Structures are given as structure tokens and as C-alpha cells.
């Protein structure tokens, strides 16, 4: 049976929610990672993924500048990196400089991959659409990578940035 | 360490993936549910959600007609309904007629809620954007509902439509 409640209460039923780290370079060439839970696959052929980024975030500028971005699936061991990349702004800090996280150059776009991630997807910017206080960026996936060892993805398990793996 | 692989292989690392059931009425007033894994929250204020629907699907017509839709989070006990609603077309069958699933009228839009779901969100169509072989529909959430009892969400656990709960 359903009960009419406030959105803020109803949305607490969403967990576990997947976590990705999107990475785009700013105009100075600094790769800027941001942690996002609002993401989905958007097309099968050609493959595309969508991310929703808050309008004030520095990533709006980095993606707007680069016209490309990486979407990485962090592993369940990468909770600290995900929390750091999600709580600091690339306007103020060089996130990869302050929090060590192994990266390597992307193959087909001017971005980087997270070497220890479950998988990395190289995307060229296909479209951007405003949605309330966010912008939806759709990227066409032009190269894909997986970890050479099987790894588990990271999820948000509940309110208060509780991160971990699911089974 | 990352290995360059085909997209089809890399995307297999995505699981578990959340499942929603989107419902919109066609021009005859028939409520048509469709099961989707490609969905995300798109805005916080006002709250919005996005779904990606394959271009050939009947739901493109129902959402285009209604300009509103429900997004329901099915429970882990609703795998059979999710499989049925995801594998049949509303062009051919009355899905709610053929597969019994308790519904009730939505409060603020001309659609229905799934009475046994974890939660239901009533959305008015905010935008639609083509993305490859899909269309991204963004809905503004104008009413929210939760089950009166705590329930677990349904996820796709792996390839081959393996559905269940996570912990």
C-alpha cells in the first residue's frame, strides 16, 4: 500500500545507488575528477552514457571546455577517493594532486583513466540539456577499458555518504 | 591496471543495476508499464528524474501523448512483473490486463501507481532529448509515495535478466 509522502522522504528508498567518477580537463590542462551518483546508460548503438552535474560545479566548465570526459566505475576499495573527489571543488584544488589516485592517459580523448577502477569509458560530448539545478551531459563512448583483475563496483549504500560494495 | 576492450565487454561490469517501471497512458487511456534500467535522478530542486527509452518502444508514444509518467521502484519480489513488463509491447497487449499487478490512481497526474512498489514518483514531462537509439525523457516530480512497509528495491544482478535484491 502506498502513502503520499514528501519527495525528500521517498527518495531515501533509492539505495544502493551506483557511483561513477567523471573526469574532464580544464583549460589549463588539469584533469578534474568529480564523483556522481546521477548517471545512466543512454543509448545502446552507438553506446552513450549520461551524467547529471550540478550547475555550480567546476565540472560544468571542464566538460564545456574539453567537449569530452571519462566515466570511471570506482571499485569498492575507492571510497576515500570518491568522497574526496565528490566533496572538494576543482576551482580551489588540484584534486589528483592532493589525493593520490593512479591515472593513465586516455587512448582517444584528452582525458585520463583511473588505473585501479573497475572500468573506464572514454566519451565525446554529444549533447547537454538543462534539468532544474543540474545539466545532463550525454557522452558517446568511443573507447572502453576494464581492470585486468575482476573488481566490485562502489555504491552509495544509504544517506550520509555511506559507501561500499553490494552483493 | 586497465585493458582496452570492446564496449560490450566493459559494460558487463555495470551490475547490479537499478530497475524502475515507468508507466504512462496511451491515447485510449490504457496505462502501459515498461521496465527500464537506464534511469537517474536529474535535478535536486525541483526534483527531476530521467529515463532513457528505446526509440521503437510503445512508451515513446504513451509518454509523448500523456506528457506525464509514473516512475515506480519495484520491490525485489516483483521480478516476474518487471520481466513481463520489459519483454512485451503495449502495442500488442494490455500488460496490466495480462499480468496482474495491483495499481491505484496517481494523485496529481493521469497515470497509475504500483501499489506494492517500494516507491512511486509522479512526473510531468519536462524535456525530451534524442540520444542515439534512445530518447531521454526528463520528468519533474510533483508527488511522491512510499510503501507503508519497508521494502527492498529490485536490481538486475547480471546478464540474462538475472533479477533480485542486493544487500
Distance CA A108, CA A126 (A): 15
Query: What is the full DSSP assignment across B6-39?
Result: -HHHHGGGG-SEE-EEEEEE-TTS-EEEEEES-E
At residue A132, what are phi and psi to the nearest 5 degrees?
A: 60, -125
- pLDDT tens, chain B, 167 aa long: 999 999 999 999 999 999 999 999 999 999 999 999 999 999 999 999 999 999 999 999 999 999 999 999 999 999 999 999 999 999 999 999 999 999 999 999 999 999 999 999 999 999 999 999 999 999 999 999 999 999 999 999 999 889 999 98
- DSSP helix, strand, coil percent of chain B (3-state; round to 5): 20, 45, 35
Q: What's the ipTM?
A: 0.97
Q: How close, in Å, is residue A142 to chain B by CA atoms?
A: 8
A121/B147 CB distance under 8 A: no
- Residues of chain B with Cβ-Cβ distance to A40 below 8 Å are 38-40, 50, 52
For residue B17, what is its C-alpha cell?
A: 543495476
Asked if A142 and A108 count as a contact pair (C-beta separation under 8 A), the reply is yes
Which pLDDT tens digit goes with each residue over A5-61? 999 999 999 999 999 999 999 999 999 999 999 999 999 999 999 999 999 999 999
Q: Is the pLDDT of residue A167 over 90?
A: no
Q: Is the pLDDT of residue A148 over 90?
A: yes
Distance of CA A23 to the CA centre of its chain: 7
pTM above 0.95, yes or no: yes
Which pLDDT tens digit goes with each residue over A66-113? 999 999 999 999 999 999 999 999 999 999 999 999 999 999 999 999
Q: Choosing among B46, B109, B120, B132, which should be mutated to test the A contact, i.e. which has the most A CBs within 10 A?
A: B132
- End-to-end distance of chain A based on CA atoms, in angstroms? 28
Distance CA A2, CA B118 (A): 8
Q: What is the pLDDT of residue A94?
A: 96
Amino acid at each position: 500500500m502506498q502513502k503520499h509522502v514528501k519527495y525528500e522522504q521517498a527518495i531515501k528508498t533509492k539505495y544502493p545507488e551506483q557511483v561513477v567518477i567523471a573526469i574532464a580537463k580544464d583549460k589549463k590542462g588539469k584533469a578534474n575528477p568529480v564523483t556522481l551518483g546521477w548517471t545512466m546508460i543512454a543509448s545502446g548503438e552507438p553506446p552513450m552514457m549520461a551524467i547529471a552535474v550540478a550547475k555550480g560545479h567546476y565540472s560544468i566548465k571542464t566538460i564545456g571546455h574539453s567537449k569530452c570526459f571519462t566515466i570511471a566505475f570506482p571499485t569498492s576499495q575507492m571510497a576515500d577517493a570518491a568522497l574526496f573527489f565528490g566533496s572538494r571543488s576543482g576551482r580551489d584544488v588540484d584534486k589528483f594532486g592532493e589525493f593520490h589516485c593512479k591515472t593513465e592517459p586516455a587512448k582517444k580523448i584528452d582525458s585520463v583513466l583511473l588505473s585501479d577502477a573497475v572500468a573506464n569509458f572514454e566519451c565525446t560530448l554529444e549533447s547537454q540539456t538543462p534539468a532544474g539545478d543540474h545539466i545532463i551531459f550525454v557522452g558517446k563512448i568511443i573507447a572502453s577499458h576494464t581492470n585486468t583483475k575482476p573488481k566490485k563496483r562502489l555504491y552509495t549504500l544509504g544517506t550520509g555518504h555511506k559507501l561500499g560494495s553490494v552483493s
